[in-house]
Amino acid sequence: MSGRRESPLMRGGGAGPPLSRGSRIAAAVVVGVALGCLCAFLYPDGLFARAPDSAIHWPRRAECDTSREVAKLKSRLVLLERKNAEFKKQINELSMKLQLAGQGKNEALYKAGPFGTVKALRTNPTVTPDLSINPRLANILEQVAVKKELIVALANSNVKEMLEMWFTNIKRAGISNYLVVALDDNIENFCKSNDVPVYRRDPDDGIDNIGKTGGNHAVSGLKFRILREFLQLGYSVLLSDIDIIFFQNPFDHLYRDSDVESMSDGHDNMTAYGFNDVFDEPSMGWARYAHTMRIWVYNSGFFFIRPTIPSIELLDRVAYRLSHEPKSWDQAVFNEELYFPSYPGYEGLHASKRTMDIYLFMNSKVLFKTVRKDAHLRKLKPVIVHLNYHPDKYDRMKAVIEFYVNGKQNALERFTDGSE
Amino acid sequence: MFTRGGGGETAVRRRLLLARVGKREGRGEAARVVLNGGPEEATGKQQPAGGCSSRGWGTGEVEAESRRQQLLPAARANAFVRVDSTACESSGRVTNLKSQLSSLERENVELRRQINELSMKLQIAGQGKDETLYKPGPFGTVKALRTNPTVTPDESVNPRLAKVLEEVAVKKELIVALANNNVREMLEVWFTNIKRVGIPNYLVVALDDNIESLCKSKGVPVYRRDPDEGIDNIAKTGGNHAVSGLKFRVLREFLQLGYSILLSDIDIIFLRNPFEHLYRDSDVESMSDGHNNMTAYGFNDVFDEPSMGWARYAHTMRIWVYNSGFFYIRPTIPSIELLDRVAGRLSHEPKSWDQAVFNEELFFPSHPGYEGLHASRRTMDIYLFMNSKVLFKTVRKDAQLKKLKPAIVHLNYHPDKLKRMKAVIEFYVNGKQDALRHFPDGSE
């Protein structure tokens, strides 16, 4: 690197014997080459950051295969750019708030009290409402909701008959805060003509395709994407399936102390509320009994969800998994995200949960296998009955109304426990 | 094989909790990063050899460029994008675009990480209020607080213990074991192995004089509680279940002093320093009694009732219990509440088993007449924190799994503990390949 070291050649004249012109030229060339090598070594990609626009100026042959790829890449770039800009805005907002709040500490602000006096936070704080995400929906909810909570159902034309029964009973029970999210025009008009609060989303290809033509499982998965906005607007949602009869106002029976409060698919106290299902492996001898925690799943067709951060994360997680695991069932995914603790490769959700009373929020297995045969339990009036365990829903729904509303004591007799 | 966790908590935490983006360190290998947001998950290397597929969400992969980047600032990239493209582009342009794309994607990931960090802090700051201090972000950017804040230490609770812990603990965490004279032999094996691995932060809570003198004579850190009739009666004469229940009353003070505890039974062999393999992101991080991925980490145990016909299959969530003989508990409010609940129930339900109660309080949601605890939980890797069923039924018979070196082995599933403990040491420490051969899978 002769260029770096100071040599007599670099300094102007005077220091040594005068050189001939030839050697001066040679020296200059050597210096120039050396400098060039130095630059090439230090800046292999060019001294100046090359604007890619410069590529346009290069002489070119027609290589049209790549233009489509370029177009695709460009659109992805634009999308990412937009996302990043959004994120940066969000970060700014959050950091400002954090400064106002005085920097989140890793330590709680107090000491733990004596035995029996310590109680952890279960009822997570609700999010700050953000009306800007959907002003039209915000308007509707403001009119329909009572104390910032309401019943929400999704419906397309496939369930028109049951939908009628659904809202007829809601009206009869005197519940005013309910809303149908119509997935097609038919249902929208039907609701309007029957004076039922209805909401139609802005067109969205992904959702609308499933909404119009999907079977019940596909539509069921939609709710996790749709509900997010409701929560972001600060509303608690009591999500309801269409095959549910309302007898009392459910809002009079909610605890509202957890992120998710849901009805169970269990058929007795053990299965519904959780039990220790002892696993027996005789070959292990002394340690043949292994204890396991087991609980029947929550029914993703009827749950009360509060607008908290864990709840929104739950919806996001479920929606994401449903879209990436084509064979998954929304009820299974919903429950897995709620139940499984963290393990290697997976970070658990950690939302608080409450199981609804199985005799107040009754599934049809409890009704047909147990309640209708028991003299005492028959006298209970449930808050809702969900015909989830049976395929002939409409028939059974009518019978249930005859039994509980019109008092016909033998209305449920002709039905089998199961479906045969 | 498992990646050895790096040195301290920070290194381990970073690697496991945050998707590490390679570019800042100038490393060119493909990094496995979380692209679509959501909780950052441990990389694929942390999966057990059993091949359980990761059920985490939000994974994506970004191919990091291997050559040194001359990154275009975002502004310039903007200008570039708006330039009208001529009909045909050179492939050099494509490469350029791709490199811009990957740098933007990296930025995207980094921004998400920042958002998560900030929102965690805000959640902590907003605790106790009815409303959070901020609005949730768009799809995939919302992450709830799982790692609860620790309590303010209260030294007045037990100044003598506070002093002992200050000397013994490392980074405010340590291994704790309870022992009475019944387990003297096993205790020796226990601390001999801990010393061999080079773990300095451990403590024996001696339940009688005998054990106290044994520990002192062997240079083992020991602590003797002030006399307390209730505890001392059980401690001196109780069988293993009764003594096991004691720990929930004894540990409370440790947590109140602000220390994280790795509670250990005596029938455990330490082969590596467990502190290098903890995530520390939950209130309770515990080893499982499960024997494979499904039973240990939870699965959908479908219940069949043919008479129901169309709806014969009922789905249920099932998971094998956490072993209350080895768990890491952080000094948070939910943790202390857990200890109180378990201690309370054990004293009021005489036939109860502490492991069952411990798990019920951790797992059952609220229901009519019961308010659930709601503590965050993490299940430890069953091949790193190995119970003896996994060892004797599976690992010792499998050529690949045999080569794994676990962090600990817990002889919980077998009654002849001391014998098996010695055999385990022969196998893993002294390399005697047939040391485990003559034992039956179970106890017969």
Number of domains making up chain B: 1
Q: What is the CATH number of the domain that holds B386?
A: 3.90.550.10
pLDDT at A214: 67
Per-residue pLDDT at A49 exceeds 50: yes
Q: Which residues of A touch B310 (CB under 8 A)?
A: 390-391, 418-419
Q: Is residue A8 part of a domain?
A: no
Record: contact B312-A418, CB cut-off 8 A: yes
Pick from B1, B52, B122 the residue to mutate for testing the A interface (most A CBs within 10 Å): B122
pLDDT lower than 50: segments of chain B: 1-85
Q: Is residue B444 part of a domain?
A: no
Residue A342 bridge partners (DSSP)? B378
- Return contacts of B51-54, CB within 8 angstroms, 24+ apart: B51/B293, B52/A345, B52/B293, B52/B297, B54/A345, B54/A346
Q: Please report the beta strands in B230-354, taking only residues with DSSP state E, as ranges in sequence order.
A: 260-264, 268-270, 284-288, 299-300, 303-304, 313-314, 316-320, 322-329
Which chain B residue shows the shortest CA-CA distance from A73? Answer: B97
Q: Residue A211 contacts by C-beta under 8 Å, 6 or more apart in sequence?
A: A154, A156, A183, A184, A219, A222
Per-residue pLDDT at A345 exceeds 70: yes
Q: Is residue A122 part of a domain?
A: yes
Which residue among B143, B356, B442 sits closest to A284, beta carbon to beta carbon? Answer: B442
Q: Are strands B385-387 and B316-320 parallel, antiparallel or unpaired?
A: unpaired
Q: What is the CATH number of the domain that holds A150?
A: 3.90.550
What is the ipTM score, two decimals? 0.76
Share of chain B above pLDDT 90, in %: 53
Q: Is residue B308 part of a domain?
A: yes
- Return contacts of B185-190, CB within 8 angstroms, 24+ apart: B185/B418, B186/B266, B186/B267, B186/B417, B186/B418, B186/B421, B187/B211, B187/B214, B187/B266, B188/B214, B188/B218, B189/B269, B189/B418, B189/B421, B189/B422, B189/B425, B190/B264, B190/B266, B190/B267, B190/B268, B190/B269, B190/B270
- Is the minimum CB–CB distance between B11 and chain A shorter than 8 Å? no
Q: Is residue A167 part of a domain?
A: yes
Q: Is residue B75 part of a domain?
A: no
- Is the minimum CB–CB distance between A1 and chain B shorter than 8 Å? no
Query: From CA A121, how far away is CA B129, in angstroms rounded?
Result: 10
Among the listed residues A358, A367, A376, A354, the one whose alpha carbon sits nearest the alpha carbon of residue A413: A367
Q: Which structural domain range is residue B335 located in?
A: 155-430
pLDDT at B251: 93
- Is the minimum CB–CB distance between B172 and chain A shorter than 8 Å? no
pLDDT digits (tens, 9 = 90+) for A107-120: 665 667 777 777 77
Q: Is residue B336 part of a domain?
A: yes
Q: Is residue B100 part of a domain?
A: no
Query: From CA A185, how far away is CA A183, in angstroms rounded?
Result: 7
Q: Which residues of B touch A331 (CB under 8 A)?
A: 315
Sign (positive or negative) of CA dihedral A399, A400, A401, A403? positive
Q: Is residue A84 part of a domain?
A: no
Per-residue pLDDT at A193 exceeds 60: yes
pLDDT digits (tens, 9 = 90+) for A204-215: 777 777 777 666
SS3 A317: helix
Query: From CA A398, how far away is CA B260, in angstroms rounded?
Result: 58
pLDDT at B348: 86
Among the listed residues A313, A320, A299, A298, the one whose alpha carbon sits nearest the alpha carbon of residue A348: A313
Q: Is residue B38 part of a domain?
A: no
Amino acid found at A198: V
Q: Is residue B54 part of a domain?
A: no
Q: Is residue A34 part of a domain?
A: no
pLDDT digits (tens, 9 = 90+) for B173-227: 999 999 989 899 999 999 999 999 999 999 999 999 999 999 999 999 999 998 8
Share of chain A above pLDDT 90, in %: 59
Which chain A residue shows the shortest CA-CA distance from B130? Answer: A125
At residue A17 the predicted structure's pLDDT band, cuts being 50, 70 and 90, is low
Number of domains making up chain A: 1
Instruction: Tell me the two tokens of residue B287.
Output: 């080893």
Which chain B residue shows the shortest CA-CA distance from A253? Answer: B368
Q: Which structural domain range is residue A218 located in?
A: 106-266+297-357
pLDDT at A83: 85
Backbone angles phi, psi at B170, to 5 degrees: -120, 125
Record: contact A81-B81, CB cut-off 8 A: yes
pLDDT digits (tens, 9 = 90+) for A246-305: 999 999 999 999 999 999 999 999 999 999 999 999 999 999 999 999 999 999 999 999
pLDDT at A373: 95
Query: Do B359 and B322 contact (CB within 8 A), yes or no?
Result: yes
Record: contact A344-B381, CB cut-off 8 A: yes
Which chain A residue shows the shortest CA-CA distance from B144? Answer: A310
pLDDT at A107: 62
Q: Which residue has the higher pLDDT, A60 or A259?
A: A259
pLDDT digits (tens, 9 = 90+) for B242-272: 777 789 989 999 999 999 999 999 999 999 9
Q: Is residue B264 part of a domain?
A: yes
Record: contact A108-B47, CB cut-off 8 A: no
pLDDT at A350: 83
pLDDT at A56: 47
Q: Please report the beta strands in B211-312, taking only residues with DSSP state E, as ranges in sequence order.
A: 222-224, 260-264, 268-270, 284-288, 299-300, 303-304
SS3 A383: coil
Sign (positive or negative) of CA dihedral A380, A386, A390, A394? positive
Tell me the count of A-B CB pairs closer than 8 A: 451
Query: Do B41 and A332 contact (CB within 8 A), yes or no?
Result: no
